[in-house]
Amino acid sequence: MNYALILSGGSGTRLWPLSRRARPKHLISLAGEVPLLEQTLDRLGEIIPPEQRFLITIPEQAPIVRDLARGRAAGIIIEPLGRNNLFPMALSTRFLFDRDPDARIAFLPSDHHILKPGNLLSALECAFDVAGEGYVVTLGIHTRHPEPNYGHIMRGDKIEGFESSGLEVCSVNTFREKPPMDLAEEYHSSDDWFWNGGIFIFSASAMLGLIEEIQPELFDMINELAPILSKEDPGLDHPVIDWEAVEEINEAYRTLPRKLQTSIDYALIEKCSKVATIPVEMGWNDLGGFAALSNLLEPDDSANSVGPGPDESETRVLMPGTAGTTVFPGRRCVVCLDCEDMIVVDTPDALLVLPRSSSGKVREVVDLIRQQGWLELL
Contact 263, 86 (CB under 8 A): yes
Give residue-wise pLDDT tens across range 202-213.
999 999 999 999
Give residue-wise pLDDT tens across range 284-311.
988 888 988 998 899 999 999 999 887 7
Question: How do 75-78 and 53-57 pair as beta strands?
Answer: parallel
Put simply, whether the predicted model's pTM sits higher than 0.85 gets the answer yes
End-to-end, the C-alpha distance of the chain in Å comes to 39
Mean pLDDT of the chain: 92
Q: What's the confidence (pLDDT) of residue 129?
A: 96
Contact 136, 265 (CB under 8 A): no
Q: What's the confidence (pLDDT) of residue 312?
A: 65
Q: What's the confidence (pLDDT) of residue 286?
A: 86
Q: pLDDT under 50 in the chain at which residues?
A: none
Domain ranges of the chain: 2-288, 297-377
Which of 345-368 are b and which e, b meaning 16 or more Cβ less than 10 Å from the residue's Cβ?
bbbeebebebebeebbebeebbee
Q: What's the confidence (pLDDT) of residue 2?
A: 96
Q: What's the confidence (pLDDT) of residue 287?
A: 86
- Report the C-alpha gap between 211 and 26 in whole angstroms: 29
DSSP string, 210-250: HHHHH-HHHHHHHHHHHHHHTT---BTTB-EEEGGG-HHHH
Q: What's the confidence (pLDDT) of residue 360?
A: 86
Q: What's the confidence (pLDDT) of residue 192?
A: 92
What letter would DSSP give residue 72? T
CATH 3.20.20.80, domain 2-288, yes or no: no
- Report the C-alpha gap between 14 and 138 in whole angstroms: 24
